[in-house]
Amino acid sequence: MSPTNKDKRPYKKSSISPSDTPEERVTVVPIDEPVVPIDEPEEPIDEPEVPNSHEKKVARYIAHTTVYACLQNNLVRLIKLIQLTNTQPMNILELGFGGNSQTAIKVAKEFKDNIKLTVVNGSLETINSGKMLAENERLSIDFINENVNTYITRGIAQFDLVYLLYNFHHIADSDMEKKHEKKYFLDACYENMKVLSFLCIADAFFPETCDDSNLLADESLEELYKQRATESQLSTFWGVLEGIGLQKVQDATREANDSYELEMNSFVRIKEKNGEYLVKKSWLVKAAQSDRKGFAVIINKDVNCIGDAILLFKKIR
Ligand SMILES: C[S@@+](CC[C@H](N)C(=O)[O-])C[C@H]1O[C@@H](n2cnc3c(N)ncnc32)[C@H](O)[C@@H]1O
């Protein structure tokens, strides 16, 4: 059926003219000419230096590297094991939570109401960002803003498990040979923890062969740290990469390079002996069992071949 005159719309004459408002203008680029982004610089701009940018780098590193994830997963498995022997919800303490509370959030999410989690950090900024994260995730975590060294000398008798993840090496010692502060820390934990409770130390350790009285001469340590840095770089790259595309690859590469740098910097700090150096596992085991302490070693396990291990001690008397 052909349309009648009544069905036809009246013809309205109009013309297409350039709009006056820039948002409405369309730029057409001929297909065979190279497209040059007008607003974007050719070189990616470095992130602005904000006061806590180091903390942010550490947080991203923790979130993305398998090196960290490996220890976290082992900690979760270990809590599950301890839970088998506990009838009550476990009361757990993390000493030196940080790096955006990654481990605390993971533990709280995994065990929900089956545990009560308290975390301690000396920086108010870290405490506040941790609180925000926990609120966003609707997780119940008690945050304590205090130096771990003073906190352990008082309120830790109520905990079934005290854990430190990459934090034991932060207990600074001016005397690398004698390690007074680390010994004092272990003493204080032992004295203040309740009988039958656990202490878990998950960290990076010096190789047993390393000459820790003369680190500058130890080439194997440098090799190990290059290996650690490469491992962090690779795993961060894959952890960050979200699909394929030049920008995504550039972002992932930048994050991965930050991780490399962080590992190498920690190696430089160890070599410069600013107090935050590692110990050997054999030293830790001996120190946990010596003098007045009677920690039993329940688990002593390497979790990779680049020096990370998890140790579980129990206060048996
Ligand atoms: C490597 S991060 C720990 C990461 C965290 N355990 C995790 O697994 O997500 C070390 C943190 O411990 C904190 N810290 C170091 N020494 C401390 C001390 N004596 N008292 C309280 N917090 C401390 C630092 O501020 C930093 O945030």
Domains and CATH numbers, the chain: 53-206+276-315 (3.40.50.150)
For the stretch 159-173, pLDDT in tens is 999 999 999 998 887
Amino acid 313: pLDDT: 96
Q: How many whole angstroms from 175 Cα to the centroid of ligand 1?
A: 21
Q: Using the atom order of ligand 1, give the atom closest to the CA of residue 104.
A: 9
Give the per-residue pLDDT at 56. 76
Pairing mode, if any, of strands 115-121 and 141-145? parallel
pTM: 0.81
Provide the pLDDT for residue 31: 42
CA of 165 to the centre of ligand 1 (A): 8
State the CB neighbour count (10 A cutoff) for residue 142.
Answer: 11
Q: By 3-state DSSP, what share of the chain in percent is helix, strand and coil, each rounded to 5?
A: 45, 15, 40
In the predicted model, is pLDDT for residue 76 greater than 70? yes
Radius of gyration of the chain (CA): 28
56 lines ligand 1 (CB under 6 A): no
Is 130 close to ligand 1, i.e. is its CB under 6 Å away?
Answer: no
Q: How far is the CA of 138 from the centre of ligand 1 (A)?
A: 23
Nearest CA to ligand 1 atom 27: 98
Closest residue by CA, ligand 1 atom 1: 166
User: Using alpha carbons only, what angle is made at residue 65 by residues 64 and 67, rounded to the nearest 5 degrees?
Assistant: 150
> With a 6 A CB cut-off, is 294 part of the ligand 1 pocket?
no
Terminal Cα-to-Cα distance of the chain (whole angstroms): 100
